[in-house]
Amino acid sequence: MGTVIAFANQKGGVGKTTTAVNLGASIAESGPSVLLIDFDAQGNLSSSVGADRSAPGIYKVLSGEVAAVDAIQETPQPRMSIITGGADLTGASVELVNEERREYFLRDALKPVVDKFDFIFIDSPPSLGLLTLNAMVAANRVIVPLQCEYFALEGLTQLLQNIKRVQTSLNPDLELFGILFTMYDSRTRLANDVVQEVIGYFGKRVFRTIIPRNVRLSEAPSHGIPVNLYDPACVGARSYKKLSEEVLSRVKDQTAR
């Protein structure tokens, strides 16, 4: 089985989607294959790669109408594909509630494709609801993007408790892969304080790469391409490249163990 990473944080706008698309593109650029799953009704990840959102997406796969392989679309980044998400997912969380094995729908749906890709990235919505739970059950690692601000820490304890609960009851293979600082502004003292505090507490669980605030990262999605194709030299693209190297070397170390 490949490396299946869920991007999770119930706080909105912390960089989950931006990280999924740009880390994915940087990894694909260096060789491995990546499948993105847009597991958010907002469909931001799908738009970020200019995908056709009228074609069948992950909801149709969950409901069994379409096979996962038939929902895969190419993206502008070679070796990176996507299964789109969109508004129909809002219904999914309601419909699933009464199902037995409701936490396992995504895992089961992806089974036929997990071995076809080196990496599968699941972007989750800003909540700890059933969709995020499904993402954590389908994944073997979680990346938690964290904005460098005081309130960022408030939800973190709850999120980590949730990850633990999933580990003990639903998916023993799940690991906290790392906490990633995003939208960092070195000029603010608070950002530095937050980074130091989190590193002090979580140590090696924090990625050494920190993603700075960079306007190119917020512009790229409106062009439907990842930042490495939009402006490869910008600091945002370079940061995600560095993060991809860190992720690849961690995965290598962990498989060697």
Ligand X SMILES: Nc1ncnc2c1ncn2[C@@H]1O[C@H](COP(=O)(O)OP(=O)(O)OP(=O)(O)O)[C@@H](O)[C@H]1O
Q: How far is the CB of 116 from ligand X (least distance, A)?
A: 25
171 vs 182, which CB is nearer to ligand X? 182
18 vs 81, which CB is nearer to ligand X? 18
**Residue 216: both structure tokens together:** 């190119």
Distance (Å) of CA 5 to CA 29, 36, 42, 135, 212:
18, 10, 19, 9, 22
Q: How far is the CB of 215 from ligand X (least distance, A)?
A: 6
CB atoms within 10 A of CB 190: 11
3 vs 17, which CB is nearer to ligand X? 17
* Site for ligand X, rule CB under 6 A: 12-18, 40, 42, 44, 126, 182-183, 211, 213-214, 217-218, 221, 236
Angle at 232 between CA 216 and CA 187, to 5 degrees: 45
Q: How far is the CB of 181 from ligand X (least distance, A)?
A: 10
2 vs 221, which CB is nearer to ligand X? 221
Q: How far is the CB of 1 from ligand X (least distance, A)?
A: 25
Query: What DSSP designation does 211 have?
Result: P
Q: How far is the CB of 40 from ligand X (least distance, A)?
A: 6
CB-nearest residue to Mg ion: 17
Q: How far is the CB of 240 from ligand X (least distance, A)?
A: 9
Q: In what order do the strands lie in the sheet with 73-74?
A: 73-74, 80-83, 34-38, 119-123, 3-7, 141-147, 175-182
Query: What DSSP designation does 102 have?
Result: G
66 vs 194, which CB is nearer to ligand X? 194
Q: Which stretch in 11-19, 74-82, 90-98, 103-111 sits in contact with Mg ion by CB under 5 A?
A: 11-19
Q: How far is the CB of 221 from Mg ion (least distance, A)?
A: 10
Phi, psi for 110 (deg, rounded to 5): -90, -10
Asked if 41 and 87 count as a contact pair (C-beta separation under 8 A), the reply is yes
- Pick one of Mg ion, ligand X, none as the site partner of residue 81 (Cβ within 5 to 8 A by kind): none
| Helix intervals (H) in 63-214 | 68-71, 88-96, 105-110, 130-138, 156-169, 189-202
Nearest CA to 40 among 100, 101, 103, 106?
106
Letters for 36-75 (x = contact with Mg ion by CB under 5 A, - = none) are --------x-------------------------------
66 vs 209, which CB is nearer to ligand X? 209
CB atoms within 10 A of CB 226: 29
90 vs 104, which CB is nearer to ligand X? 90
Nearest CA to 84 among 45, 120, 114?
45
- Pick one of Mg ion, ligand X, none as the site partner of residue 32 (Cβ within 5 to 8 A by kind): none
Binding site for Mg ion (CB under 5 A): 16-17, 44
